[in-house]
Amino acid sequence: MSEGCLACGAVNPLGLQVRLRFDPDGVWASLMPREPWRAPDGGLHPALAPVALDEVAWWLGALLMKEGGLRLFVVGYESGNAEILKNIKKGVRLDRARRFTRDCRELGILIHGTFILGLPGESRETIEESMRFAREMDCETIQVSLASPYPGTEMFEYVTAHGYLAVDPLLDEAGYQKCTVQYPNLSADEIYQSVERFYRSFYFRPRYIFKSVRKMLTSPEECKRLLKEGMQFLSTMRQRRAQLRQSNMTAA
């Protein structure tokens, strides 16, 4: 089981430990409760049973999906800042995201992580937090998008009520997404430019480059894929910079 689980992590001083055993007849779980989660008969306290079942169900489900050919999860981390996750009512804490990522890594399941810049509460500091969090998660690949306050959404109501809506419409003439929000001490241009900085901070790390080169040397298919994706990335970043220059010229 995962070491960091609140209820059954092996390094957790409270709760219980859960161990799975596999044999031809089925999958068996051994529950070893610690104080104060031990019932008078030495077994599991009833209050902890739902948490234990949830943990076992997650691992069994993940194992079955892995056996069935699951290769990759697309995970919406959105931000590395806890307050922003509360603002958007994400419903998942950073520690839970860390645990999920660690569990997937133990099972050999890859992750494509997605992040959004410009959500309510964004600042220069929270952008840096998200960059650090992305590097910590060390996903296989990432995607970084701009927050879009579509009419009718809570975010649209929030940015219009506080005067944070910078431009409208959401797309430019060529169909590219624009950064349409701004916050105190954080302009729309800064948020827009942070997308490229985010990508570079993740992909241009020595650790990631070494991992990619190793894949390219061991697999011709991976070599072709990574070279293609690398060219697409550089092309997209050039287009974004050209779009920003054009936007600034138009504004001037």
Residue 38 covered by a domain: no
Residue 115 covered by a domain: yes
Instruction: Output the pLDDT for position 203.
Output: 92
Q: In CATH, what number is assigned to the domain containing residue 224?
A: 3.30.750.200
Residue 48 covered by a domain: no
* Total count of residues recorded for the chain: 252
pLDDT of 222 > 90? The answer is: no
**Domain coverage including residue 82:** 71-251
Instruction: Output the pLDDT for position 158.
Output: 94
- For 174-204, the pLDDT digits (tens) are 556 678 899 999 999 899 999 999 999 999 8
Residue 62 covered by a domain: no
Residue 111 covered by a domain: yes
Number of domains within the chain? 1
Of the ranges 37-51, 52-66, 220-234, which is most confident? 220-234
Query: Rounded to an integer, what distance in angstroms lies between the CA atom of residue 127 and that of residue 125?
Result: 5
- Of the pLDDT bands very low, low, confident and very high (cuts 50, 70, 90), residue 211 is confident
Within 8 A by CB and 6+ apart from 49, the residues are none
pLDDT of 10 > 60? The answer is: no
Where residue 97 falls (left for φ over 0; alpha for ψ -120 to 50; beta otherwise) is alpha
Residue 201 covered by a domain: yes
- Of the pLDDT bands very low, low, confident and very high (cuts 50, 70, 90), residue 2 is very low
Residue 89 covered by a domain: yes
Residue 176 covered by a domain: yes
